[in-house]
Structure 1
């Protein structure tokens, strides 16, 4: 009798077991059962979802031999739309163009002549840019007309300050060549410029107040959206568990020793700019017991191995 290679025996046995396991599963039937289960989950979630809130966009399913089935649930996050919005894509605010310092007849940059006045122009433009960027990042749609009005007001104030700075620069230059009578007129014009600058400064305060209100609106909407999102994810977990208890028996091709995993994309915490997924791993036997009413949906959910990844 030939000697048996003992080292090769475990590999041969594992190969036979895997082959036997694989041949016991009809993959076409299992694929069909996964599609049916996906449709049931989507239908159940849709019935209990607010049309204005988050929606279950799509479900992808896979089978891992010896481990079980995996459902990837992709959720469309809720967006805020202005009261005049009739479309479903968020408006991206236009980035402002920073005013370039004009050159004088000698070729000097205006910033050298305007000093602090021109820095105010830059500051206003950059503040507008910060607001626009924040709106883009927050993915929030505000009323387009209000956005344009605020943007135009900020731009006009910046241009007015630039013009006043130019006038003040010209006056200071002319002062060097004025006689006593002309200097009196110069002082009068200088006072007028200062009055106009005060008016603009008051207007700047109002615009900044509106910008602050926009930021508060952004935060309020974001807070409401986050609450709505978390409520949806919580309800989604309950819906999934209810579906498994009612229809989990439909996964007949899945061995009782394997698992049903649900990956809810983006349902976890956000850390360092990365949002984790929520994973729920159900034992097929636990699902079967729930179908047979030996345990309820709440017990099934408590038995699931839930974690974020």
Structure 2
């Protein structure tokens, strides 16, 4: 009797294990189909001048639900900074950084990192502007070094003049006094040229900063637009095709993670933007008991 009970127990365990394995296998197939649907939908609704979904990966977390990890367009490779001539002009407030990769522009401003795509000519104009202004700043740096050298040389000659004048008399003293006046005029002219260089360098910095600020504002708008469209598309997909995840156990969730998308305020790195949908809410939307806006409002959305 005991042996028979043990056999039945083992058979039951094996049956449950086989069912669980079959369910996971079915869920894996459903996830593959759902991922393809989502990628196609995001691609069709893509704004070619804005942020786009670059990659989507899906996995299942037992007892929790399915997770879709979404990556948006581009990673940064080229950084354009606003380091000017520190000893020429006062250090300005920290200016935004622009980074570029192919058709993507990434702007970092006060800890916020926003990325969006741009089309050829516009991107090239931005890049040319920063390359050209960087070359001009380098030239100004060299010019400032030359002016500093000229000032030191005139000041040296003036010291020699003053030393000789202390021991000179008559006509020689008058000649040295005249030469001292000419040296002062020469020094004043050099300092005026130096002020012009400083003024131009500051103007150039302001122009670069103005362009970057405008780009940052445009990128903020692109980010808002992308999020609104992404959230709408996501809710629409779940309401239309969420029933395709029929192997997902009741009580679990469908989670989407925008990878490294949100600016990490006060942190050294960005955060993920996460949307957690209860599977029962998705089923209700599929059945027409919820609309897309209601489904979005019931999602747990946060950044981490």
TM-score surpassing 0.5?
yes
1:205 to 191, 199, 204: 199
1:149-191 alpha-carbon deviations (Å, 9 max, x no partner)? 4223321331232222222232133211244113312321321
Question: Helix, strand or coil for the counterpart of 2:87?
Answer: helix
Q: What is aligned with 2:294?
A: 299
Q: What is aligned with 1:229?
A: 223
Distance across 2 between alignment mates of 1:211 and 1:31: 54
Q: What is aligned with 1:196?
A: 190
* 1:148 Cα offset (Å): 3.6
Q: TM-score, normalised by structure 1?
A: 0.72
Q: What is aligned with 2:78?
A: 90
Q: What is aligned with 2:48?
A: 51
* 1:209 Cα offset (Å): 1.4
* 1:30 Cα offset (Å): 1.7
1:277 to 269, 272, 276: 272
Distance 1:230-1:171 versus aligned 2 partners, 3 A rule: same
Q: What is aligned with 1:70?
A: 67
Contact residue 256 and residue 284 of structure 1 kept, 8 A? yes
* 1:42 Cα offset (Å): 1.8
1:188-207 alpha-carbon deviations (Å, 9 max, x no partner)? 13212211321221232122
Distance 1:134-1:225 versus aligned 2 partners, 3 A rule: closer
Q: TM-score, normalised by structure 2?
A: 0.73
Gaps of 5+ in 1: 3-11, 80-88, 97-120
Gaps of 5+ in 2: 3-8, 100-105, 109-125, 166-171
Name the structure where strand makes up a greater proportion of residues: 2
Cα RMSD (Å) of the superposition? 3.5
Q: What is aligned with 2:29?
A: 32
* 1:239 Cα offset (Å): 0.8
Contact residue 255 and residue 275 of structure 2 kept, 8 A? yes
Contact residue 57 and residue 74 of structure 1 kept, 8 A? yes
Distance across 2 between alignment mates of 1:237 and 1:44: 12
Distance 1:135-1:166 versus aligned 2 partners, 3 A rule: farther
Distance across 2 between alignment mates of 1:149 and 1:29: 60
